[in-house]
Amino acid sequence: MILRLVLGDQLNEKHSWFHAIDPNVIYLFQEIRSETDYVVHHIQKVVAIFLGMRTLAEKLKKNGHQIHYLRISDPENQHSFFTNVQKILDRYSITHIEYQEPDEYRVDEHLSSLNTLGLGIQKVSTEHFLTERFELKKIFEGKKTYLMENFYRKMRVKWNVLVDEDRQPLEGKWNFDHENRKKWDAKNQVPPPFEFGHDASALVEELELANVKTMGFIRNNVSVWPKSREEAQQVLHYFIDWLLPVFGDYQDTMAQNQPFLFHSRISFALNVKMLHPLEVVKSVEKTYLDGKVSINQAEGFIRQILGWREFVRGIYWAEMPNYAKLNHFNHKNSLPDFFWTGKTDLNCLSQSIGQSLEFSYAHHIQRLMIIGNYALISGIDPDELDRWYLGIYIDAFEWVEMPNTRGMSQFADGGKLATKPYASSANYIQKMGNYCQHCKFNPKEKEGPNACPFNQKYWDFIGRNADAFRKNPRMSMMVKLWEKQNQNNLSS
């Protein structure tokens, strides 16, 4: 008999494993403590993954596949990939084990230990990504930094997306970013989020009984996260019909009490592989080719998936395991308590962290320019921050979370991924949204009781690193401004 492992982020019912029913194959699904406990996760994240696993296992069983499912509460569950496998070998007379390539270094290491069982072991592709694990490493062989734009253009050509027969970009440009910086106006109503009526109460009770430690909140019978491929497709279609037409315009904006704006919310479905990235990209490309959306909306969205998503995964595999230890600025401060409660007078942080606790979600600009920016200029230890991001977000798996957090947002890799630190004062936050209008602090003031704390922290960050930033052409201007401010202060 062959034992095949299905992991919680491998819920791809289209995988070739499932094309035929084979009486010699048994599929093992495991809800285990080593996965619920490696960081404190948001309750909605644990529930969404387990509901997704349970739904897929049920469907496969109905279709005639043999399933062995270990629930978190099953007494026979040993809560470790290795021990669970070891325990059922004899029961099913297993001679071979097969598993899909894990996306996380940690899990890859765990599963390699199965080699010690003395059985035939085969690691197969997840059939999900658009690049091989080490493809990006080969593309940038010998280079000190990785350039996303170069990589993205190669991907457009490789997958024949928004290019003509001469491999040139449609409408003459690879990138329409400069058209995508609009500030949202409340007159342009945001469609309500697409929601599902999942009853997760029994599962939540099981998690409580098992004493699984979680953070955040969960609502009864309502979820914005799909539990099956069919539901994931509904989220995608809703996005294409209602949100894509203005996605690019407002992709960088932030607004009070608007947790989702025009973002797709498909990252969870993609990362657990309910959706395939190419089906998403091709559906959006088709919507543009059918004349239903303009190119800046379609290209802005496609770049996130064909470009950024594959790019950060390539960096993860090119740089692990060292990447997990990088701390370029040697930041050592602890996360403030409000990261766990959302209770702070800084309105932009209260909004961004508050909604993260409520929905297990924040959009990109909140993650980068509010929460990440605050952590960077406050000198927070990237290890602590990584654990927080990895736990709180519905879509957080280390291969995508770590390069984004440690690399893009904290510059802890010294600039392998980003050409300059994403640090800003209140000026940027005020320009990109309306949080400051609802805040007790004044974004224009640098000193005094009403001064926005982002201002003092930002200039302090520039000052602490002035020598290094002087050499970076994208930062040297800020150092000059900091010097000028200091001179003015001395002469006044």
Residues 264-293 that bind ligand FAD (CB under 6 A): 264-267, 270-271
How far apart (Å, rounded) are the C-alpha atoms in residues 93 and 78?
Answer: 19
360-399 binders of ligand FAD (CB under 6 A)? 363-364, 367-368, 372, 389, 393, 395-396
Of 293, 280, 228, 254, the closest CA to residue 424 belongs to 254
Alpha carbon distance 187, 198 (integer Å): 32
Residue whose CB is less far from ligand SF4, 159 or 459? 459
Closest CA to 236 of 259, 260, 267: 267
Long-range CB pairs of 461-466 (<8 Å, 24+ gap) are: 461/376, 461/377, 461/379, 461/423, 462/423, 464/329, 465/329
Binding map of ligand FAD across residues 5-44, x = CB under 6 A, - = no contact: ----------------------------------------
Shortest CB 412 distance to ligand FAD, Å: 11
Q: Pick between residue 13 and residue 445 the one whose CB is nearest to ligand SF4.
A: 445
- In the block, tokens 């005094």 appear at 448
Of 5, 221, 269, the closest CA to residue 112 belongs to 5
Q: Please state the closest distance from residue 376 (CB atom) to ligand FAD, in A.
A: 10
The amino acid at residue 428 is: Y
Of residues 26, 43, 53, 312, which one binds ligand FAD by CB under 6 A? 312
Interface with ligand SF4, residue 443, by CB under 6 A: yes
Closest separation in Å from C-beta 271 to ligand FAD: 5
Find the binder of ligand FAD among 10, 36, 228, 409 (CB under 6 A): 409
Q: How far is the CB of 152 from ligand FAD (least distance, A)?
A: 12
Q: Are 26 and 3 in contact (CB under 8 A)?
A: yes
Read out DSSP for 326-374?
--TT---BPPPGGGTT---S-HHHHHHHHHHHHHS---HHIIIIIIIHH
What residues are paired with 151 via a beta bridge? none
Q: How far is the CB of 280 from ligand FAD (least distance, A)?
A: 8
Decide: is 305 part of the binding site for ligand SF4 (CB under 6 A).
Answer: no
Minimum distance from residue 338 beta carbon to ligand SF4 (Å):
12
Q: Which of residues 320-349 bind ligand SF4 (CB under 6 A)?
A: 346-348
Closest approach, Cβ 35 to ligand SF4, in A, equals 35
**Among residues 232 and 436, whose Cβ is nearest to ligand FAD?**
232
- The partner in contact with residue 426, picked from ligand SF4, ligand FAD, none with C-beta cut-offs of 5 to 8 angstroms by kind, is ligand SF4
At 124 the three-state DSSP class reads strand
Residue range at the interface with ligand FAD (CB under 6 A); choices 135-143, 188-196, 257-265, 317-325: 257-265
d(CA 190, CA 137) in angstroms, rounded, equals 40
Sign of CA dihedral 444, 449, 455, 459: positive
Q: Which of ligand SF4, ligand FAD, none interacts with 200 (beta carbon under 5 to 8 A by kind)? A: none
30 or 430: whose CB is closer to ligand SF4?
430
**Binding string to ligand SF4 for residues 446 to 465, with x set by CB under 6 A, is what?**
------x-x-----------
Residue 460 belongs to what H/E stretch?
helix 453-464
Q: Which is nearer to ligand SF4, 389 or 441 (CB)?
A: 441
Print burial letters for 43-71: b (CB count within 10 Å at least 16), e (below 16).
Answer: bbbbbbbbbbbbbbbebbeeeebbbebbb
Q: 443-469 as b/e, with b when 16 or more CB fall inside 10 Å?
A: beeeeeeebbbbbbbbbebbeebbeeb
- The CB-of-41 to ligand FAD minimum distance in angstroms stands at 12
Give the contacts of 479 (CB within 8 A, at least 6 positions apart): 462, 466, 469, 470
Q: Provide the 8-state DSSP code for 254.
A: B
User: Where does this chain touch ligand SF4 (CB under 6 A) — which range of 150-158, 232-240, 284-292, 431-439?
Assistant: 431-439
Shortest separation between residue 379's beta carbon and ligand SF4, angstroms: 18
Is the sign of the CA dihedral 466, 471, 472, 477 positive or negative? positive
Question: With CB cut-offs between 5 and 8 Å by kind, which of ligand FAD, ligand SF4, none does residue 253 bind?
Answer: none
CB of 458 to ligand SF4, least distance (A): 10
**Shortest Å, Cβ 422 to ligand FAD:** 8
Which position among 27, 29, 308, 441 is part of the footprint of ligand SF4 (CB under 6 A)? 441
As a whole number of angstroms, the distance between CA 128 and CA 110 comes to 21
By CB under 6 A, residue 368 contacts ligand SF4 = no
Q: Which is nearer to ligand FAD, 400 or 432 (by Cβ)?
A: 400
Structure-token pair, residue 235: 């989220």
Which residues form the interface with ligand FAD (CB under 6 A)? 263-267, 270-271, 304-305, 308-309, 312, 363-364, 367-368, 372, 389, 393, 395-396, 400-401, 404-405, 408-409
Which residues form the interface with ligand SF4 (CB under 6 A)? 346-348, 426, 429-430, 435-436, 439, 441, 443, 452, 454
